Amino acid sequence: MQMQPVDAVVFDLLSGLLDSWTLWDGIAGSEQAGRNWRKSYLELTYGTGQYRPYEDLVVEAAERVSSPGNWGIELVARWGELQPWPEVGKVLARLRGRVKAAVVTNCSEALGRQAAAAAGEFDVVVTAERAGFCKPHAQPYLLALEELGVAASRTLFVAGSPFDLVGCANVGLPVFWHNRIGLRREDWIPAPLVESQDLKSLPYWL
């Protein structure tokens, strides 16, 4: 099934567009430690509702998994090391001029803007700090749609986390799940329109 027409594509930032996993794993010292820390962060963030500072959440998540060092502080200090997935530049270039593009992220305003600039150019960047709520609350998604001037039914959301599938379902956004590292989708989480290990096929769905 091909979704048409589409007026805009909205991206999750830290896993949909950027390889944040490598940085987290490197700071934690191993892939397993990094994944445990990231899982703790996601549980905190997606359960928080009203915005809490991203910087505080990554520190608290590290403490929850008995971090021996200041992982969260180091993550913020090394934020500039974040890099987009290899195909991101080409994919965004193919979208440019065809559809509007936006980012919705649970970052703070400062970190979100910095990371979005590392990924590419966007018409709208919505951070949880500016929206006042963290995903999967509806407000960050709705703010992006409002500022883009598009309807949810004519917008494709590119998710990086299964939790985005929940938030998008609540506002009527179809989802392309960029499941790069093979995250598990629990039975209670709505299915995406499509699931892919990379972004190369994204233009096809427009």
Tokens of 180: 């790069």
* Beta strand pairing call for 8-12 and 155-159: parallel
Over residues 30-53, the mean pLDDT reads: 90
Side-chain half-sphere of 148: how many Cα atoms within 13 Å? 29
Q: Which one is the CATH code of 20-80: 1.20.1540, 1.10.150, 3.40.50, 1.10.3470? A: 1.10.150
Q: Which one is the CATH code of 8-19+82-205: 3.40.50.2000, 2.30.110.10, 3.40.140.10, 3.40.50.1000? A: 3.40.50.1000
pTM for the whole structure: 0.94
State pLDDT tens for residues 101-124. 999 999 999 999 999 999 999 999
Q: Does residue 1 have a pLDDT over 80?
A: no
């609540």: which residue's tokens?
Answer: 170
Over residues 34-59, the mean pLDDT reads: 91
Domains of the chain by residue range = 8-19+82-205, 20-80
State pLDDT tens for residues 54-68. 999 999 999 999 877
CB 104 within 8 A of CB 11: yes
Cα separation, 14 vs 33, in Å, equals 18
pLDDT band at 2 (very low <50, low <70, confident <90, very high): low
Q: Between residues 95 and 48, which one has the greater pLDDT?
A: 95
